[in-house]
Amino acid sequence: MHFGPHLLLAALEGLVTSAVLALTALGLSLVFGVMRVVNVAHGEFFMLGAVLAWAITTAIGGHPALGFLAALVIAPLIVGAIALVAERLVLRRLNYNPEATIVATIGMLYIIQQLALSFYGPEARPVEPPFSYRILLPWFGYSGYKLSIIATSALLLIATWLVLTRTRIGLIMRATQYDSETAQAFGIPVGRVYGGVFALGAMLAAVAAVLIVPISQAHYLMGQDPLLLSFIVVIIGGLGSLRGTVVAAVLIGLSDGIISMFFSPTLAKIIATLLVAMVLVFRPQGLFGTASR
């Protein structure tokens, strides 16, 4: 292939990564924005979504679309419920102290990872895509399913944006994010909001995982990369900013796709990680928000 088609292919692959990354990072960003909790276990909720998608599609059988749609609904619900329990049992008791919650979510990460290893096993397992339709582009055919991931992700992001800006639930969440004490004084059940936001964040990661699993297989260690990339997106995009998250996700996804195709995936990760670390070092207050409030 020539350079042009190669670049287009890299850009398309990058956009698929961006779509999944935007959803995952949005979950992390909401949790940090509203609760001031850095959820290190976020990648494991992602992994759990993929593993559950495998379990659900295997259990249902029949036409792949049937199992996939069921997984798309059920897997995030289960992951959300698990996250809610974890929030109630652990994070709330720590009073959302930033450093203690980091240690606690590291603990959750290990527990979820080990449970996945024990019950699911170390193999990577495939999930059949709901449809296998190839769209013919001028130089090559491209998977229609991959394009539908981009569309689905865009729809979900718009839906989240509408909920956050146009509904009462969104208003309550923003009030809690802005000043949780005043919100409490005005009768907003801050504890319940925190529980809901933590579950919602985990569910967004799970949805993203269900979308990606037909092209990347489910594996118990698959949560590590999305976690790191989400951190990068959240830091570059700025906290609690949906627009920033999407822009950063597209930026990171595209550059990851292109650098990976023309150089090496490891080099792409090294460059992205180093750049973001430098951004954090030289503009900590600007990009990491008002951490000390």
Partner 1 sequence: MSEASPAKAYALHLGVIALLFVLSFVLPEYYYGLLARIMVLAVFAMGYNMLFGYVGLLSLGHAMFFGAGLYGAGLAIIQLGWSVPLAFLGGIACGAVLALMIGLLALRTTGVAFMIVTMMFAQVFYLLILYFATWTGGDQGQVVPQPARVLNFGATSLDLTNPTVRYMSALALFSLVLLVTLAIVRSRYGRVLVAIRENEERTKMLGYDTFSNKLIAVVVSGTICAASGAAYALLFGYVGSSFASVQYSILPLLWVLLGGAATTLGPLIGTVFMYYVIDVTSGYTSAYLLIVGVALILLVLFFPKGILGSIRQRWLGWLP
The three-point CA angle 201-207-208 to 5° equals 95
- The size of the interface with partner 1 (CB under 8 A), counted in residues, is 43
**265/197 Cα distance (integer angstroms):** 33
Q: Which is nearer to partner 1, 15 or 108 (CB)?
A: 108
Min. distance of Cβ 232 from partner 1 in angstroms? 8
In a 13 Å sphere around the CA of 115, the CA atoms on its Cβ side amount to 13
Residues with Cβ within 8 Å of 57's Cβ and at least 6 positions away in sequence, in order, are 64, 67, 68, 70, 71, 127, 128
Binding mask 274-293 for partner 1 (x = CB under 8 A): x-xxx-xxx-x---x--xx-
> Out of 31, 50, 109, 213, which residue is the one contacting partner 1 (CB under 8 A)?
109
Min. distance of Cβ 286 from partner 1 in angstroms? 11
Give the CA distances from residue 240 to residues 48, 109, 137, 236, 243, in Å, rounded to whole numbers and listed in that order.
24, 23, 37, 12, 9
Query: Could you tell me how far CA 252 lies from the centroid of its own chain?
Result: 14
Binding mask 32-51 for partner 1 (x = CB under 8 A): ------x-------------
> Out of 73, 117, 162, 171, which residue is the one contacting partner 1 (CB under 8 A)?
117
Q: What part of residues 66-105 is at the interface with partner 1 (CB under 8 A)?
A: 90, 93-94, 98-100, 102-104
Q: Quick one: CA torsion of 105, 255, 206, 192, rounded to 10 degrees?
A: 60
When computed from its CA atoms, the radius of gyration of the chain, rounded to whole angstroms, is 19
> Out of 73, 85, 111, 185, which residue is the one contacting partner 1 (CB under 8 A)?
111
Min. distance of Cβ 201 from partner 1 in angstroms? 16
List the beta strands (DSSP E) in 40-177: 134-136, 141-143
Residues with Cβ within 8 Å of 225's Cβ and at least 6 positions away in sequence, in order, are 43, 269
Q: Which is nearer to partner 1, 216 or 224 (CB)?
A: 224
Q: Judged by CB under 8 A, does residue 221 bind partner 1?
A: no
One-letter amino acid at 151 equals A
Q: Judged by CB under 8 A, does residue 154 bind partner 1?
A: no
Binding mask 118-147 for partner 1 (x = CB under 8 A): x-----------------------------
Give the CA distances from residue 47 to residues 37, 130, 163, in Å, rounded to whole numbers and listed in that order.
20, 20, 26
Q: Judged by CB under 8 A, does residue 266 bind partner 1?
A: yes
Q: Which is nearer to partner 1, 139 or 263 (CB)?
A: 263
Q: Which residues lie near partner 1 (CB under 8 A)?
A: 38, 90, 93-94, 98-100, 102-104, 106-115, 117-118, 224, 228, 231, 235, 264, 266-267, 269-270, 273-274, 276-278, 280-282, 284, 288, 291-292
